[in-house]
Amino acid sequence: MAFQILLNFILAFVWMFLKTSYSPASFFVGYLLGLLIIYMFRRFFHTRFYLLRVVAVLNLLYIFLRELLLSNIAVLKVILRPKLNIRPAIFALPTELKEDWEITVLANLITLTPGTLVIDVSPDNKILYVHAMDVSDIDEAIQGIKNTFEKAIMEVSR
Amino acid sequence: MTDLEIAKFFAGIFILLGAFLSLVTAFGLIRLPDVYTRNHAASKSATLGVMFVLLGTFIYFYFVENHFNSRLLLGIAFILLTSPVAGHLIGRAAYNSGVKPTDLTVQDDLATAKKTLAAMDQQK
């Protein structure tokens, strides 16, 4: 991915040298043309066309912000309710992610999800131990959210 | 309503929301029963509260004073990245130093996992 971005920059500079105009505007035009060229030659690269991965990263960021808002509303409701009827639990969550940074991102996402917080990661990086604020309705819903998170992260790293 | 008034309105809304969230966090720290549930309140509401206050400040200075303060944006990004990690580390440190979760807790997989690990160590 980094190689494709670098190649795109070089193509943009070649375009600037061809035009002998060194302005940001001509760099931008060259960048767009280079993007088109890389898209046409995408079958010669080992990895995917890099714009897809950029879109996946943006999608992950969107999920991050949305979950932050939702989790705040959930915590707000728990705190401001007159009677505290919460049932906390610590449950194990097996994960398929391998790389360290993927697990870090997943743990951060889980921490910002409504009512869950990562307490520990098992030494072999296969299980996350998650503290849930209210176990009754959450346990299954959480599994669903995890699947979307893991999928979104895999979409980036694939 | 002019553009300036709209900008001021949004800046005010964001700052008030942020202050409200911080207040609720403080309530949560008092009301919730143990370290782990308090950690929920502290690591979520406080994050968004501070981010909203910074965002409101950024909007005010950008539209009213025509001053683009990139440090506020960097501050928002840093808080977003670091506060879940801080929450995780506090929870983990509490658990490893033996702080018991509240009696309301129904299920504790980590304790069983640690027990099996210790049993395996003894067998060796």
Least confident of A36-50, A74-88, B44-58: A74-88
For chain B of 124 residues, list the mean pLDDT of each consecutive stretch of 10: 84 93 88 84 85 92 88 90 88 84 66 71 68
pLDDT tier for residue A15 given thresholds of 50, 70 and 90 = very high
Test mutation, A85, A101, A111, chain B, max B CBs within 10 A: A111
pLDDT tier for residue A141 given thresholds of 50, 70 and 90 = low
Q: Report the pLDDT value the prediction gives residue B105, as an integer from 0 to 100.
A: 62
Q: Do A133 and A91 meet the contact criterion of CB atoms below 8 Å apart?
A: no
Q: Are residues A24 and A92 in the same domain?
A: no
- B37, A115: Cβ pair inside 8 Å? no
State the smallest CA–CA distance between residue A53 and chain B in angstroms: 21
Mean pLDDT of A112-122: 81
- B24, A80: Cβ pair inside 8 Å? yes
Amino acid at A30: G
State whether ipTM is beyond 0.85.
no
Q: Are residues A141 and A90 in the same domain?
A: yes
CA angle, A107 then A112 then A68, to 5°: 145
Choose the closest CB to A92 out of B84, B87, B109.
Answer: B109
Choose the closest CB to B91 out of A75, A76, A131.
Answer: A131
CA atoms within 13 A on the CB side of B24: 26
Q: Report the pLDDT value the prediction gives residue B19, as an integer from 0 to 100.
A: 94
Query: Residue A44 has what DSSP assignment?
Result: G
Mean pLDDT of A16-42: 91
CATH number of the domain encompassing residue A120: 3.30.70
Q: Are residues A78 and A141 in the same domain?
A: yes
- B91, A107: Cβ pair inside 8 Å? no
Number of domains in chain A: 2
Domain range for A109 is: 50-157
